[in-house]
């Protein structure tokens, strides 16, 4: 269900209901808040048509959007070129990024990827994010916390999200958002998680504090 052919078909037949046609409003609010992260290298996992990637590039981040649906990458690249954005886009399976980008990114941006993969892949997702982030790097995630059965999108609770990411990450914040698009009102949480410094599976050299 979650292979590239499945998602490519969704784009081809026009059933990409996760595509809201704009950057997620909670990300816009974050970048305009006192808590806005400092610019750095960002991986946008399952970037789709690239709206969130373009937003972060607009705020000075060095952005690479990743998706394994060719139509998504083509649309994102075309939009970046049309708007003069510095964001780059790669057609990749996210679970193969560790070898290409080991401990490379300052941030990983999550929006509708964690909910799109099978729940059985979530621990592998956590491992992937940890492996492509620099020590003390951060995941900025807009999580779909609906309680409907089935999927995709597969729902999760804040407690489940915390349990998945701990102890590999310190949960700096995980809060419900109030400015979701109308069809997702009451069903999203925004989280900021930092790679745990004491994680023995991480290299200890070259730490770079991100504030």
Sign of CA dihedral 164, 18, 108, 141: negative
Q: Is the pLDDT confidence value at 29 over 60?
A: yes
Percent of the chain as helix, strand, coil, to the nearest 5 = 35, 25, 45
Q: Is the pLDDT confidence value at 148 over 60?
A: yes
Contact 44/64 with Cβ under 8 angstroms?
yes
| pLDDT tens, residue by residue, 84-121 | 999 999 999 999 999 999 999 999 999 989 998 999 99
- Angle CA 126–130–136, to nearest 5: 135
Q: Is the pLDDT confidence value at 210 over 80?
A: no
What SS3 class is residue 26? Answer: helix
Percent of the chain at pLDDT above 70?
82
Backbone angles phi, psi at 62, to 5 degrees: -90, 100
Q: Is the pLDDT confidence value at 203 over 50?
A: no
Q: Where are the domains of the chain?
A: 4-8+39-195
Average pLDDT in the chain: 86
Q: Determine whether 44 is exposed, middle or buried from the number of CB atoms within 10 Å of its CB (0-12, 13-18, 19+).
A: buried
DSSP 36: P
Q: Is the pLDDT confidence value at 200 over 50?
A: no
Please name the residue that has the structure tokens 């394994």: 68
- Give the closest residue to 171 by CA, choosing from 180, 179, 159: 159
CATH number at 4-8+39-195: 3.40.50.150
pLDDT at 46: 94
pTM of the model: 0.85
- Give the closest residue to 154 by CA, choosing from 207, 95, 113, 205: 113
Instruction: Measure the CA–CA gap between 191 and 175, rounded to whole angstroms.
Output: 6
Residue 40: pLDDT band by 50, 70, 90 thresholds?
Answer: very high
């Amino acid at each position: 269900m979650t292979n590239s052919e499945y998602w490519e078909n969704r784009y081809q037949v026009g059933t990409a209901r996760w595509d809201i046609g704009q950057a997620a409003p909670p990300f816009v609010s974050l970048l305009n808040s006192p808590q806005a992260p400092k610019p750095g290298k960002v991986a946008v996992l399952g970037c789709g048509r690239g709206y969130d990637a373009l937003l972060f590039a607009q705020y000075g981040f060095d952005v690479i959007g990743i998706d394994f649906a060719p139509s998504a990458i083509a649309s994102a690249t075309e939009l970046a070129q049309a708007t003069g954005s510095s964001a780059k886009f790669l057609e990749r399976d996210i679970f193969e990024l560790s070898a290409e980008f080991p401990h490379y990114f300052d941030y990983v941006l999550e929006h509708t990827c964690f909910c799109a993969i099978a729940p059985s892949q979530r621990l592998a997702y956590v491992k992937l994010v940890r492996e492509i982030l620099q020590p003390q790097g951060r995941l900025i995630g807009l999580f779909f916390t609906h309680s409907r059965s089935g999927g995709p999108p597969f729902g999760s609770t804040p407690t489940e999200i915390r349990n998945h990411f701990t102890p590999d990450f310190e949960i700096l914040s995980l809060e419900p958002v109030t400015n979701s698009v109308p069809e997702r009102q009451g069903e999203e949480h925004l989280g900021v998680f930092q790679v745990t410094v004491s994680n023995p599976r991480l290299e200890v050299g070259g730490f770079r504090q991100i504030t």
